[in-house]
């Protein structure tokens, strides 16, 4: 992403902020895993959205003095000795010369600078509740102002969450963001195709996960958007199964939910296919229901349709399909009203997708499901889960979990499925696995 993009986003946020306000946004903390080993670092998405800066120990400050906006960055200062171990840092000088910050300070001086940053400011935008040392420092400073401020200086009276403004911005993806998401989608599609080709009975679930990661790495992608799910047979009925430790069995299906993260944007794709390359009769019948539900849902995605419309379309197809197979009995409308499908399909048909796999953005406005608009990106992921031992269902259907998940962008007149190249129909899957 070009630096101008981040500058434009900061300007837009500043435009929306009231006069004499300040927004404070810390970078993600870098937790230790054990001893000298750290968890892989991942920047906080809001912070990255506004800066494109991937280092830890940093704080973004946006200030509006009167109507004039400026921004500053607290960051790690350059330090040759430490950089020898952990790599190059940007440092404060280059935060100004390269990133275009109006001001930059070493992160250690944050508490010292805080009174100056807040004086003359009436409102603060800060996401409370993270319980970070930065939040504690800020709250301590405000208490100090309350107790000692007899000089008449203007000090903040109100704290707002930053989320509502920022997350509404993040919900609408620009053409440049969609181009990146298209790349995340295409790497992810290649990984799913590779997993289908590599699958055979006896392979451990983690072996198939390895195929996914291999494909990601070979495209230069080292970050998964979320932990890869490889769930054989009954394991697919656990929605977020990530043990990936069991052998894949002949005659079972396997559910693979995997997505690459490219330049900070996630893909989120699920495919379900037979371990041995051929669907059984029962698997085929259930799979066709989920596939038809997905088709019906995708048909509903266009500007103006409310968020719940595509979910309701999927629920209708799933309920009718389960009645046809005698897994549910009764009147379809009544069964839908009573939410009887929830025993086998207990999640929503999608979620916003973007920098976070479950991306930010409200689903409702003023108590009503919001209409879809051009530039919104979402997943469409109907499913059926019939675990072993479930009551009232013939044994032949049990131990089967199927989810089909694609990433969809709302266009001016309909939608585009970014991940359509990952085989979805029974014929496509069987033919790829046979080859």
CA distances (Å), origin 428, targets 145, 268, 403: 66, 20, 16
- Cβ neighbours, 10 Å, residue 128: 13
What is the contact mask toward Mn ion in residues 232 to 261, using x (rule: CB under 5 A)? -------------------------x----
Contact indicator for 191, 258 with CB cutoff of 8 Å: yes
Fill in the DSSP letter of residue 246.
S
Nearest approach in angstroms of CB 173 to ligand GLY is 18
Q: Which does 226 bind (CB under 5 to 8 A by kind): ligand GLY, Mn ion, none?
A: ligand GLY
What is the contact mask toward ligand GLY in residues 335 to 374, using x (rule: CB under 6 A)? ----------------------x-----------------
Number of residues that bind Mn ion (CB under 5 A): 5
Number of residues that bind ligand GLY (CB under 6 A): 6
Quick one: which of 205, 215, 268, 407 contacts Mn ion (CB under 5 A)? 268
DSSP string, 145-203: HHHH--S------EEE-SHHHHHHHHHS--HHHHHHHHHHHHHHHHHHHHHHHH--TT-
**Catalytic site residues?**
36, 240, 257, 268, 347, 351, 358, 381, 385, 403, 405
The continuous run of DSSP H or E covering 415 comes out as: strand 415-417
Calculate the CA dihedral of residues 237, 392, 349, 291 and round it to 10 degrees. Answer: 90
- Does 257 engage in binding with ligand GLY (CB under 6 A)? yes
Minimum CB distance to ligand GLY smaller for 145 or for 363: 363
Q: CB burial class (10 A; 0-12, 13-18, 19+) of residue 325?
A: middle
Minimum CB distance to Mn ion smaller for 270 or for 319: 270
The phi-psi region of residue 67 (left if phi > 0; otherwise alpha if psi is between -120 and 50; otherwise beta) is: alpha
- Rg, the chain, Cα only: 25
Quick one: which of 268, 359, 406, 430 contacts ligand GLY (CB under 6 A)? 268
Quick one: which of 226, 249, 278, 370 contacts ligand GLY (CB under 6 A)? 226
Contact indicator for 264, 355 with CB cutoff of 8 Å: yes
Quick one: which of 43, 45, 309, 379 contacts Mn ion (CB under 5 A)? 379
Distance from chain centroid for Cα 327 = 34
Nearest approach in angstroms of CB 256 to ligand GLY is 11
Nearest approach in angstroms of CB 203 to ligand GLY is 22
What is the contact mask toward ligand GLY in residues 378 to 417, using x (rule: CB under 6 A)? ---x-----------------------x------------
Among the residue ranges 24-32, 237-245, 267-275, 413-421, the one whose residues contact Mn ion (CB under 5 A): 267-275
Q: Which of 360, 363, 381, 382 is nearest to 372 (CA)?
A: 363
Minimum CB distance to ligand GLY smaller for 47 or for 241: 241
Assigned token pair, 300: 């509903």
Name residue 106's beta-bridge partners: 75
Nearest approach in angstroms of CB 212 to ligand GLY is 13
Nearest approach in angstroms of CB 295 to ligand GLY is 19
Contact positions toward Mn ion, by CB under 5 A? 257, 268, 270, 379, 405
Which positions lie near ligand GLY, rule CB under 6 A?
A: 226, 257, 268, 357, 381, 405
């Amino acid at each position: 992403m070009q630096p101008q993009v981040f500058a434009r986003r900061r300007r837009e946020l500043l435009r929306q902020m009231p006069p004499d306000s300040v927004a404070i946004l810390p970078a993600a903390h870098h937790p230790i895993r054990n001893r000298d080993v750290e968890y892989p670092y991942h920047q906080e998405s809001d912070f990255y959205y506004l800066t494109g800066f991937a280092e830890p120990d940093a704080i973004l400050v946006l200030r509006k003095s009167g109507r004039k906006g400026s921004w500053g960055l607290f960051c790690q200062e350059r330090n040759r000795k430490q950089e020898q171990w952990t790599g190059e840092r940007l440092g404060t000088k280059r935060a100004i010369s390269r990133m275009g910050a109006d001001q930059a300070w070493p992160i250690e001086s944050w508490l010292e600078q805080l009174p100056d940053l807040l004086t003359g400011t009436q409102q603060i935008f800060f996401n409370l509740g993270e319980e970070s040392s930065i939040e504690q420092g800020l709250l301590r400073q405000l208490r100090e102002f309350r107790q000692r401020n007899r000089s008449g200086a203007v000090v903040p009276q109100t704290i707002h969450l930053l989320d509502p403004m920022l997350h509404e911005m993040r919900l609408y993806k620009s053409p440049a963001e969609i181009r990146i998401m298209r790349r995340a989608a295409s790497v992810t599609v290649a990984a799913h195709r590779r997993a289908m080709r590599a699958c055979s009975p006896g392979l451990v679930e983690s072996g198939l996960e390895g195929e996914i990661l291999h494909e990601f790495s070979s495209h230069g992608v080292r970050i998964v958007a979320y932990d890869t799910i490889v769930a054989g047979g009954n394991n697919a009925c656990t929605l977020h199964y990530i043990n990936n430790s069991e052998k894949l069995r002949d005659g079972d299906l396997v559910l693979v939910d995997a997505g690459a993260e490219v330049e900070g944007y996630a893909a989120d794709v699920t495919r379900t296919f037979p371990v041995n390359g051929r669907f059984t009769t029962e698997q085929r019948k259930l799979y066709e229901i989920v596939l038809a539900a997905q088709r019906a849902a995708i048909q509903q995605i266009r500007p103006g349709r409310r968020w719940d419309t595509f979910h309701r379309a999927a629920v209708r197809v799933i309920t009718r399909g389960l009645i046809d197979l005698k897994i549910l009995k009764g009147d379809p409308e009544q069964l839908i009203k009573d939410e009887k499908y929830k025993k086998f399909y207990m999640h929503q048909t999608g979620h916003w997708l973007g920098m976070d796999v479950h991306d930010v953005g409200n689903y409702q406005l003023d108590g009503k499901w919001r209409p879809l608009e051009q530039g919104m990106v979402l997943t469409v992921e109907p499913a059926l889960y019939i675990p072993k031992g479930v009551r009232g269902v013939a044994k032949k259907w049990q131990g089967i979990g199927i989810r089909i998940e694609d990433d969809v962008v709302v266009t001016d007149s309909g939608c585009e499925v970014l991940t359509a190249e990952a085989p979805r129909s029974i014929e496509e899957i069987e033919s790829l696995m046979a080859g």
